[in-house]
């Protein structure tokens, strides 16, 4: 009962360990995935944050330049001396307000008082029409608080227009000033100059409300890492976008991360699972082998006990002179001799097997006549078997080329095959031993008319300690080491052993070893 519990406990422990290893490796995979994602996200965030700073700085500078230009012109506007504006500003404009294209001053009743363009040849007469007509409602000039500097940005007749405007009052008289920005100048001069630094060069653009490029170039390669912001105050219909310098790399890495890192984690998990499965498999094998070994020890002990008790029993009968007739005495003696032979054969087999297991099996090969060796061993076996049935028939072909063999090992091989044939073929009539040459190989066959080998067993019968299903409980006794020895000896001779079904019933064990030369 204790053993059963221990085995169960061991199985449960193993299942628990396996589950723990799987959970732990899953957790490890998840953790490394999370950490690497967090690190990557951190890197991405810092890149994006520095790009956002760059974008803000550029936007502030554009807006500050536009507003500074506006203010410079507004200083020159005096409703009582508008001639001064018309005379002085065009000459100064290039220097103090290159971003302003024209100035419109309107009286309280929204009647134009003066319109001045910064270049004489520039006719901006349409501006007054826009301000008093189609844009009047949008600008709501008259309702703005005094001195509040406002901007309007939009499209007029398909062209982008930026207006700055404010309401002023002098000596109780209200008037309105509207400035039209020189968007051509801003686009051609101001913006390219602003972005002509190593940080931003080639990595920015400005798009209008229809997503058309105003300046710069297309930045689609930056993908999701593109940082874009609207101008907050002046050119608010436009959007400034900057691609981080590392954008292509970040894009590629983000794409790679899904596939490559995912497969790394998957592959590591697979390796761990394969390792665990292998360990489990090895543990199972080990356990099976241990069971086989314990069975082997039990069987060997039993095998030793039976002949020993027979020897002892008949020995005691002889010693106590309890054999009634000379025939009986002869019979008892024969039993004692036969059982001693069985005993020494068994012990020899076990010792041979132990030597082989410890890697101490030593062979001495000499070129020999295989036919003669087989014949001699078969006769020796016949003598040892003390049995009439099955009849042992030998079919030895002539002219087999010499074979390099270890005669003692060959006898162990043959005795084991014959022992099995006699043991498993029961009361059948014949066991045939053959020796012949096939090409460069010498063949030894032992054929019986027994029940044959269960196909389920066929693959395993040459494994050490393995015993057929049919014989394990109740069949002929055995240790499960005979065929393992046979196989080892056949291989040591450079050959091999195979089992085949005989017709109509029975088994043929065929040993093939190379002939000498």
SS (H, E, C) 499-513: EEECCCCCEEEEEEE
Of 69 and 480, CB closest to ligand ADP: 480
Establish if 482 lies at the interface with ligand ADP (CB under 6 A): yes
Both tokens of 171, joined, read 């000596």
Q: Evaluate whether 44 touches 250 at the Cβ level (below 8 Å).
A: yes
- Out of 40, 471, 502, 515, name the contact with ligand ADP by CB under 6 A: 471
Establish if 467 lies at the interface with ligand ADP (CB under 6 A): yes
Of 236 and 466, CB closest to ligand ADP: 466
CB of 322 to ligand ADP, least distance (A): 34
- Out of 99, 233, 448, 512, name the contact with ligand ADP by CB under 6 A: 448
Of 235 and 417, CB closest to ligand ADP: 417
Neighbours of 69 (CB within 10 A): 23
Q: What is the DSSP string of 227-271?
A: EEEE-SSSSTT-EEEE--TTHHHHHHHHHHIIIIIHHHHHHHHHH
Neighbours of 491 (CB within 10 A): 12
Residue 235 C-alpha from the chain's centroid: 53
Give the contacts of 141 (CB within 8 A, at least 6 positions apart): 106, 110, 131, 165, 167, 176, 178
- Out of 424, 433, 435, 513, name the contact with ligand ADP by CB under 6 A: 424
Q: Give me the phi and psi of 400, to 5 degrees please.
A: -75, 130
Q: Could you give the angle at the alpha carbon of 72 between the alpha carbons of 69 and 74, nearest 5°?
A: 110
CB of 484 to ligand ADP, least distance (A): 6
Of 369 and 496, CB closest to ligand ADP: 496
208: nearest Cα among 186, 183, 239: 239
- What residues pair up with 435 in beta bridges, in sequence order? 396, 444
Dihedral sign, CA of 275, 281, 285, 290?
Answer: positive
Q: Evaluate whether 89 touches 119 at the Cβ level (below 8 Å).
A: no
DSSP letter at 189 equals I
CB of 259 to ligand ADP, least distance (A): 53
Establish if 102 lies at the interface with ligand ADP (CB under 6 A): no
Q: Give me the phi and psi of 478, to 5 degrees please.
A: -175, 175
Of 203 and 510, CB closest to ligand ADP: 510
Establish if 421 lies at the interface with ligand ADP (CB under 6 A): yes
CB of 300 to ligand ADP, least distance (A): 10
Binding piece for ligand ADP, criterion CB under 6 A, among 113-121, 255-263, 364-372, 482-490 = 482-490
CB of 486 to ligand ADP, least distance (A): 7
- Out of 93, 99, 420, 428, name the contact with ligand ADP by CB under 6 A: 420
CB of 324 to ligand ADP, least distance (A): 37
Q: d(Cα 52, Cα 55) in Å, to the nearest integer?
A: 5
Binding piece for ligand ADP, criterion CB under 6 A, among 51-59, 95-103, 391-399, 418-426 = 418-426
| CA–CA distances in Å: residue 394 to residues 280, 402, 437, 441, 497 | 49, 19, 15, 19, 19
Binding piece for ligand ADP, criterion CB under 6 A, among 25-33, 174-182, 224-232, 474-482 = 474-482
Of 216 and 307, CB closest to ligand ADP: 307
Q: Which 325-344 positions form the footprint of ligand ADP (CB under 6 A)?
A: none
CB of 422 to ligand ADP, least distance (A): 9
Residues of this chain that bind ligand ADP (CB under 6 A): 416, 420-421, 424, 448, 450, 453, 457, 461, 466-468, 471, 478-484, 507
């Amino acid at each position: 009962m204790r053993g059963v519990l221990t085995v169960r406990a061991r199985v449960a422990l193993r299942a628990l360990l396996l589950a723990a290893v799987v959970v732990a490796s899953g957790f490890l995979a998840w953790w490394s995935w999370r950490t690497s994602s967090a690190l990557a996200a951190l890197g991405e965030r810092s890149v994006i944050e520095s790009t956002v700073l760059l974008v803000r700085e550029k936007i502030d500078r554009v807006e500050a330049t536009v507003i500074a230009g506006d203010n410079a012109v507004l200083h020159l506007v005096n409703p009582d001396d508008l001639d001064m504006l018309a005379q002085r500003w065009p000459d100064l404009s290039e220097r103090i307000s290159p971003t302003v294209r024209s100035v419109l001053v309107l009286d309280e009743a929204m009647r134009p008082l003066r319109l001045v363009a910064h270049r004489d040849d520039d006719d901006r007469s349409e501006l007054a029409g826009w301000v008093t007509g189609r844009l009047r409602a949008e600008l709501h000039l008259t309702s703005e608080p005094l001195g509040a500097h406002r901007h309007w940005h939009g499209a007029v007749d398909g062209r982008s227009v930026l207006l700055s405007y404010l309401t002023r009052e002098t000596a109780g008289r209200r008037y309105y000033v509207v400035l039209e920005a020189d968007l051509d100048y801003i686009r051609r001069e101001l913006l390219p100059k602003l972005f002509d630094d190593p940080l931003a060069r080639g990595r920015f653009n400005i798009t209008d409300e229809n997503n058309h490029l105003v300046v710069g170039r297309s930045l689609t390669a930056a993908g999701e890492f593109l940082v874009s912001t609207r101008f907050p105050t002046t050119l608010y219909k436009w959007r400034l976008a900057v691609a981080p310098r590392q954008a292509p790399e970040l894009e590629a890495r983000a794409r790679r991360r899904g596939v490559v890192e995912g497969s790394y984690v998957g592959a590591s998990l697979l390796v761990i699972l394969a390792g665990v499965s292998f360990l489990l498999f090895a543990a199972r094998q080990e356990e099976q082998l241990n069971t086989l070994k314990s069975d082997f020890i039990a069987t060997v002990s039993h095998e030793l006990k039976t002949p020993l008790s027979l020897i002892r029993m008949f020995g005691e009968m002889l010693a106590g002179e309890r054999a009634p007739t000379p025939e009986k005495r002869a019979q008892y003696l024969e039993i004692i001799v036969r059982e001693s032979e069985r005993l020494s054969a068994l012990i020899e087999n076990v010792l041979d097997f132990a030597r082989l297991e410890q890697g101490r099996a030593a062979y001495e090969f000499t070129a020999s006549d295989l036919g003669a060796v087989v014949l001699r061993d078969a006769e020796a076996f016949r003598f040892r078997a003390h049995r009439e049935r099955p009849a042992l028939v030998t079919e030895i072909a002539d002219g087999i080329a010499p074979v390099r063999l270890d005669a003692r090992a060959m006898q162990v091989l043959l005795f084991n095959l014959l022992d099995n044939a006699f043991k498993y073929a029961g009361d059948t009539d014949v066991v045939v031993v053959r020796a012949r040459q096939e090409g460069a190989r010498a063949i030894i066959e032992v054929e019986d008319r027994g029940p044959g080998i269960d196909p389920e067993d066929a693959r395993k019968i040459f494994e050490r300690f393995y015993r057929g299903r049919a014989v394990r409980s109740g069949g002929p006794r055995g240790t499960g080491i005979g065929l393992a020895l046979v196989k080892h000896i056949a291989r040591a001779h450079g050959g091999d052993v195979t089992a085949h079904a005989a017709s109509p019933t029975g088994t043929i064990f065929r040993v093939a070893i190379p002939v000498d030369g």
